[in-house]
Amino acid sequence: MIEAPGSNACMKSFLLPEIALLLLVPWLSGCALAHTTINEPLSFAQVQELEPGTTTAKEAVKILGAPADVVQLGRRSAYRYDHRNSKRAGLFLVLVFLFNEDTRTDRVWLFFDENEVLTHLGATFAAGQTEYAMPWTDVHED
């Protein structure tokens, strides 16, 4: 018996390889998530303990620990504290590769006068807002 073109049996044999490949493709795809941090997170509460005009460098180090960097500014100095948080997400779909990286930091700079008394303090806390995302996402959107 000869089946007419377009019959069910003919369609099944015709589509079988394509269906098999379609089922195979998801198994060939890959995704990856990576999370990298540098230094310990900074404590907002501890930074609030610092008072310009009264806190000394010694007291600041006692509260926040050793700085990541010390910059000499003539007879004055500045201490840097930072914590870096990076989240990377990648999706590989055979011929398509999507990748996103979002890196943010907590940063605190302490400025001391020649007597090692804190004069100015600058702080940015953003590490906690780091996101895993795909490239079409605006991670800095409010």
Binding site for another protein (CB under 8 A): 17-18, 21, 28, 71-75, 78, 80, 90, 94-105, 107-109, 111, 114, 119-124, 126, 135-136, 139-140
Cβ nearer to another protein, comparing 1 with 17 = 17
Q: Report the nearest approach of another protein to the CB of residue 109 (Å).
A: 5
Burial class from Cβ neighbours inside 10 Å (0-12, 13-18, 19+) for residue 104 reads buried
Cβ nearer to another protein, comparing 19 with 61 = 19
Q: Report the nearest approach of another protein to the CB of residue 117 (Å).
A: 14
CA gap 62, 115 in Å, rounded: 17
Q: Report the nearest approach of another protein to the CB of residue 98 (Å).
A: 5
Q: Report the nearest approach of another protein to the CB of residue 120 (Å).
A: 5
